[in-house]
Amino acid sequence: MKICDAIRPELVFLGLSAGNAHEAIEVMAGELAASSKLDAAMVESALIEREQLGSTSVGNGFAIPHCKLANLGEIVVALARFEAGVDFGDNANHEPVSFFFAVLSPPDQPAEHLQVLSQIARILKNADLRKELIEAADVPSITRAIESAAQQEGL
């Protein structure tokens, strides 16, 4: 599965705000539930559970919260931008997080799940992409930027 095919414009949420990591995940889960058939509480608790194993912050203001979710038909990728940044409890290593790539996967697709996570981590090495994601004014600019970064990475 290619990261570009997994990103859906209706699941890109800009202009969010939250006080901490837990709250940010809750806010995003709420947005996600409103735009899909997913249950906000289930998404939230699964993401929080994964976060407790170790922070999914990858530095430079980005995090890749992810989890496996029963009854999911396919991998869901949602993007969320917190304009003022969120303290991720990982400040010893990383700065506050302002951009989420959230990945929710069916439990029976472990390889595809890891593939998508790996592809996101790889494109986020691209400083131009990071800048565009933080600064983009609208959703189409975001999806375009990701497509171009993925192409550069050979994905």
Partner 1 sequence: MKVIVVGGGLVGSTLAERIASDGHDVVLVEQSRALVSELNDRFDVQVVCGNGATVPVLEEAGIATCDMLLATTDSDEVNMVVALVGSEIFRVPKVITRLRHSGHEVGFRRIVGDNAQRVAINPEHAAVEKILSLMPVPGAVDVVPFFEGQLVIAGFLVRPKSEFNGLLLSHLRLLFPGNPVLVVAMRRDGEWRVPHGEDEIRAGDLVYFAVDPVELDNVMALLGHRHGKERRVMIAGATRIGIQLAHRLEDQKVPVTLVEPGRAEAESAAAELESTTVIHGSPTDRELLGEEGADAVDGFVACTDNHEENVVACLLARKLGAAHTFALVDNPALASLIADLGIDAVISPRLLSVGVALHFARTGNVKRVAALLDDAVEAFEAVVPGTSRLVQSPLAQLGLPRGILVAAVQRGDRIIVPGGADRIQPGERVLIVTTAAMTSRIDDILER
Q: Is 127 a binder of partner 1 (CB under 8 A)?
A: no
Interacting stretch for partner 1, rule CB under 8 A, among 9-17, 27-35, 120-128, 140-148?
Answer: 120-128
The pair of three-digit structure tokens given for residue 143, joined into one six-digit string: 């999806």
Q: What is the sign, positive or negative, of the torsion defined by CA atoms of 125, 54, 95, 69?
A: positive
Query: Is 22 assigned a catalytic role?
Result: no
Rule CB under 8 A: choose which of 78, 86, 100, 115 binds partner 1: 115
As a whole number of angstroms, the distance between CA 83 and CA 18 comes to 9
Q: What is the sign, positive or negative, of the torsion defined by CA atoms of 141, 90, 103, 26?
A: negative
- Phi and psi at 47, nearest 5°, equal -70, -40
Q: Is 34 a binder of partner 1 (CB under 8 A)?
A: no
Q: Is 50 a binder of partner 1 (CB under 8 A)?
A: yes
As a whole number of angstroms, the distance between CA 86 and CA 151 comes to 30
Q: Is 70 a binder of partner 1 (CB under 8 A)?
A: no
Considering the candidates 22, 66, 94, 113, report the single residue annotated as catalytic.
Answer: 66
> Could you give the residue numbers annotated as active site?
66
Residues that bind partner 1 (CB under 8 A): 50, 53-54, 56, 58, 64, 110-111, 114-115, 117-119, 121-122, 125, 153-154
